[in-house]
Structure 1
Amino acid sequence: MAGKPTVLIIDDDTVLRSLMSSILRQEEYVVCGEASAADAGLKLCEQLKPGIVLLDINLPDHDGLEVLPEMLQMAHRPKVIMVSGEATMERVRAALGAGASGFVVKPLNAAKLIAAMEHALKSRAG
């Protein structure tokens, strides 16, 4: 095993989840699960204990920023990278201020997604 963490993807856009999953697998990350809503994502996060969670801000049942603190308080303490098409400075600051390890802007860019993943991993080691 390459030592890369498992990844959980929580996004209501099926095509985007598939794209993120494909990009991550090409980089030898293990995508352990996917969810299209916050509640389902929280349950999967508890069960699968991923190292990193990619969390959409605009979910059908909850705002990702409301879910972020719950994830960060889980026993296995995953790194959480927020994903959003609404990347205003206010939203980015709110996410990072609440403990997110990174922020990826939609439309998705593979290089930026991988850079955010690598940054989150470095911040874990430090």
Structure 2
Amino acid sequence: MSTKKISCVIIDDDSIIRNLMAALLRQLEFTVIGDVGHAHEGLKLCMDHTPTVVLLDINLPESDGLELLPQLLKLTPQPKVIMVSSEATGERVREALTGGASGFVVKPFTPARLLDAIGKAVGVKL
């Protein structure tokens, strides 16, 4: 699978993190549908555009990424959701993975770690 065929939505309240992830993915020719800072905006973007992958923070204004996760997993086609958070306690990671997340990347992250998680989620080596 070419990275051009992997479409992504980034949902994170930190604009610097969003811009960093978006720039990295675009540089590697992923299709970045959009990046938003609020859960409800992210859900709408995903409903309108059906991304392959959603990069989702836990701490969001108005909602928690773990509360948004089951809503994203109800979409058709179902996106692969990778949690990207500094809130990486064992309990939070377990909650995300048992809730259906395809991976968990701890902030601060390296580009290699993010790409590895995306590759594992979609079943390709990046």
TM-score computed with the length of structure 2 as normaliser? 0.93
2:56 is the counterpart of 1:28: no
Report matched runs for 1:51-62 at 5 Å: 51-62=52-63
Structure 2 counterpart of 1:12, which letter?
D
Determine helix, strand or coil for the equivalent of 2:56. strand
Report matched runs for 1:20-99 at 5 Å: 20-99=21-100
Tell me the residue number matched to 2:110.
Answer: 109
Structure 2 counterpart of 1:25, which letter?
R
Instruction: Please give the root-mean-square deviation of Cα atoms over the aligned residues, in Å.
Output: 1.4
CA distance in 2, matches of 1:86, 1:33: 23
CA distance in 1, matches of 2:95, 2:55: 16
CA distance in 1, matches of 2:28, 2:93: 25
Deviation, structure 1 residue 23 = 1.3
Determine helix, strand or coil for the equivalent of 1:100. coil
Which runs of 5 or more structure 1 residues have no equivalent in the other structure?
A: none
Determine helix, strand or coil for the equivalent of 1:95. helix
CA distance in 2, matches of 1:17, 1:111: 16
Determine helix, strand or coil for the equivalent of 2:5. coil
How many residue pairs match? The answer is 123
TM-score computed with the length of structure 1 as normaliser? 0.93
Structure 2 counterpart of 1:45, which letter?
C
CA distance in 1, matches of 2:17, 2:80: 20
CA distance in 2, matches of 1:87, 1:70: 21
Deviation, structure 1 residue 13 = 0.5
Aligned structure 1 segments of 4 or more residues deviating by more than 2 angstroms:
1-4
Identity percentage of aligned residues = 54
Which runs of 5 or more structure 2 residues have no equivalent in the other structure?
A: none
